[in-house]
C-alpha cells in the first residue's frame, strides 16, 4: 500500500507509475559463447553518461547483445559497439567463466543494475565457477556477493581484453528506468537476507546529516531527525557502517524512514510488508525505482513531498532543502500522531545553509515561491562569472 502526501501533480505522476509496475514470471535467458572475448569498462569517448564501452564480444568482434547493461529497452548504458580493436596483447585464459556485467561503484546503482544477473548463482551447482565483471574499480560491495555464496577469490575484474574458453552470459533481471522486474530479481535479495543475522531495532531513521559531501546533504533535516528520535526511532548514519552491518540493521526493522535517496533502497533487505516512510527532497520526483521495490516487497509506504523547492535560487551549502513545517509533513505527522517541537516559528536549522541576509529575506517573504520574477532574478545572478560582482548583485537584490 502506498500513501502519498503531496501536491496533485506529484500524486498524479506517482499513481500513474504505480499502475505501470509489473512483475514478470518468465524464465530468464542464459547464453554461452565459446572462444569469446571480454573488453574492460571504458568511459564513453563522447563524454556521455550512456554508451560506455565494454562487455562480451564473439570471436568476430561483435558485441553480445545480452551482455549490455541497459537503462531501458532502447538505451544502452554500458556495451556500445567496439571502438578499440583486439590486438596481440589480448590475454587468453583456458577457463569457463560467468559474466556478471557492469559493477557500479555507487551503492544504489549496484543494487539496481549490478546485482541483476546474480539470479544465476541461486543454483548452488554453479558456485564453484569463476565469475567475471567489468567496472571502474574493484567491487566495493563484496560482502553482498559473499552472502550470495560466492567465493571472493573466484570473482575477477577484467582490466585488459581477455579471451576465454567459454563465457556464460545471464540475462538482466531488472533495469533502471523500466517499469518491470523479473521475479528472480526479488529472489536475489531474499537469499542475501536469509544469510544474515538481523539486529533488533523496530524503528530506524536513516540520516544524511553526517554526510561530508555537499551533494548529499539536505538543509532542514536536523529538525526532522530530531522529531523521529523523539518518537522512538533509532538514528542510523549508514556511511558509518559496513554493508553487512547495514543489512543486519534493517533485516528485522518494522518501520524504516529517511530522506529520498540510496539508503531507502535498503528496504530490499527488510521483511516483506515493512512500513516505510520516504521524505522526498525534490519537487515532483516520485522516486520510481523505490516504487518498484515497494511493489516487489509489498511495502506499506508513505511518501511525503517535503521539499523547499523555492529555495533553489539561493546558494545553499547543501544539495536540497526540506522542512518539517511543510504542509504535507504536518499532515503526515498529525495522521500518525507523532509529536514534534513547534516552539520555534522559523526553521532555524536553515541558517547554517544560507547567509544571514538571505535567511532574513527568506523569513520575511514566505510567499517567495509565488514571486516568479524574484526567483528568476536570483537564478540569473548565480550565473554571473565574476565572483565579486555576483556577490555584490546578490547583496543589492536582497537589500532592495
Bridge-partner residues for 258, per DSSP? Answer: 206, 278
Give the burial string for 93-121 (b: 16+ CB within 10 Å, else e): eeeebbbbbbbbeebbbbbbbbbbbbbbb
pLDDT in tens, 226-246: 999 999 999 999 999 999 999
At residue 384, the pLDDT reads 79
* Neighbouring residues of 342: CB distance < 8 A, sequence distance ≥ 6: none
CA 225 to CA 214: how far, in whole Å?
18
pLDDT in tens, 153-209: 999 999 999 999 999 999 999 999 899 999 999 999 999 999 999 999 999 999 998
Q: For residue 288, what is its C-alpha cell?
A: 520510481
Phi, psi values for residue 72, rounded to 5°: -155, 180
Lowest average pLDDT, out of 8-22, 28-42, 177-191, 361-375, goes to 361-375
CA 204 to CA 346: how far, in whole Å?
27
Query: Has residue 366 got a pLDDT over 50?
Result: no
At residue 102, the pLDDT reads 93
pLDDT in tens, 318-338: 557 777 878 899 899 999 999
Task: Give counts: helices (H), strands (E), the chain.
Answer: 11, 18
Domain with CATH 3.40.50 in the chain: 2-20+197-353
Query: Has residue 66 got a pLDDT over 80?
Result: yes
Lowest average pLDDT, out of 133-137, 194-198, 294-298, goes to 133-137
Query: Has residue 347 got a pLDDT over 50?
Result: no
- H helix or E strand, kind and range, residue 33: strand 30-42
What contacts 24+ positions apart, CB below 8 Å, involve 153-156?
154/128, 154/129, 154/130, 155/100, 155/131, 156/97, 156/130, 156/131, 156/132
Local structure of 255: helix, strand or coil: strand
What CATH architecture is 2-20+197-353? Answer: 3-Layer(aba) Sandwich (3.40)
**Percent above pLDDT 70 for the chain:** 78
- H helix or E strand, kind and range, residue 30: strand 30-42
Amino acid at each position: 500500500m502506498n500513501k502519498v502526501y503531496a501536491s496533485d501533480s506529484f500524486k498524479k505522476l506517482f499513481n500513474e507509475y504505480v499502475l505501470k509496475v509489473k512483475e514478470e514470471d518468465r524464465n530468464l535467458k542464459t547464453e554461452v559463447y565459446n572462444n569469446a572475448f571480454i573488453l574492460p569498462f571504458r568511459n564513453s569517448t563522447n563524454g556521455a553518461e550512456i554508451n560506455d564501452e565494454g562487455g562480451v564480444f564473439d570471436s568476430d568482434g561483435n558485441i553480445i547483445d545480452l551482455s549490455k547493461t541497459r537503462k531501458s529497452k532502447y538505451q544502452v548504458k554500458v556495451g556500445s559497439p567496439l571502438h578499440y580493436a583486439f590486438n596481440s596483447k589480448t590475454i587468453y585464459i583456458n577457463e569457463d567463466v560467468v559474466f556478471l556485467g557492469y559493477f557500479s561503484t555507487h551503492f544504489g546503482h549496484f543494487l539496481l543494475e549490478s546485482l541483476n544477473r546474480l539470479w544465476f548463482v541461486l543454483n548452488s551447482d554453479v558456485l564453484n565457477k569463476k565469475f567475471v565483471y567489468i567496472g571502474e574499480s574493484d567491487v566495493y560491495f563484496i560482502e553482498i556477493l559473499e552472502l550470495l555464496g560466492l567465493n571472493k577469490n573466484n570473482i575477477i575484474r577484467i582490466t585488459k581484453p581477455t579471451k576465454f574458453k567459454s563465457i556464460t552470459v545471464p540475462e538482466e533481471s531488472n533495469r533502471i528506468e523500466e517499469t518491470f522486474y523479473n521475479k528472480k530479481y526479488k529472489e536475489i535479495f531474499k537469499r542475501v537476507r536469509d544469510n544474515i543475522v538481523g539486529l533488533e531495532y523496530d524503528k530506524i531513521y536513516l540520516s544524511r546529516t553526517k554526510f561530508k559531501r555537499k551533494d548529499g546533504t539536505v538543509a532542514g533535516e536536523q529538525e526532522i531527525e530530531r522529531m523521529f528520535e523523539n518518537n522512538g526511532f533509532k538514528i542510523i548514519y549508514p556511511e558509518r557502517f559496513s554493508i553487512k552491518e547495514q543489512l543486519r540493521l534493517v533485516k528485522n526493522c518494522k518501520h524504516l524512514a529517511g530522506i529520498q535517496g540510496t539508503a531507502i533502497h535498503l528496504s530490499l533487505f527488510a521483511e516483506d510488508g515493512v512500513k516505510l516512510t520516504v521524505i522526498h527532497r525534490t519537487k515532483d520526483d516520485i522516486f520510481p525505482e523505490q516504487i518498484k521495490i515497494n511493489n516487489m516487497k509489498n511495502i506499506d509506504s508513505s511518501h511525503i513531498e517535503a521539499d523547499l523547492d523555492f529555495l533553489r535560487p539561493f546558494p545553499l551549502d547543501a544539495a536540497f532543502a526540506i522542512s518539517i513545517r511543510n504542509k504535507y509533513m504536518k499532515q503526515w505527522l498529525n495522521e500518525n500522531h507523532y509529536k514534534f517541537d513547534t516552539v520555534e516559528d522559523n526553521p532555524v536549522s536553515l541558517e547554517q545553509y544560507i547567509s544571514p541576509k538571505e535567511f532574513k529575506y527568506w523569513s520575511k517573504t514566505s510567499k517567495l515561491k509565488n514571486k516568479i520574477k524574484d526567483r528568476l532574478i536570483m537564478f540569473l545572478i548565480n550565473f554571473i562569472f565574476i565572483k565579486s560582482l555576483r556577490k555584490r548583485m546578490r547583496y543589492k537584490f536582497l537589500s532592495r
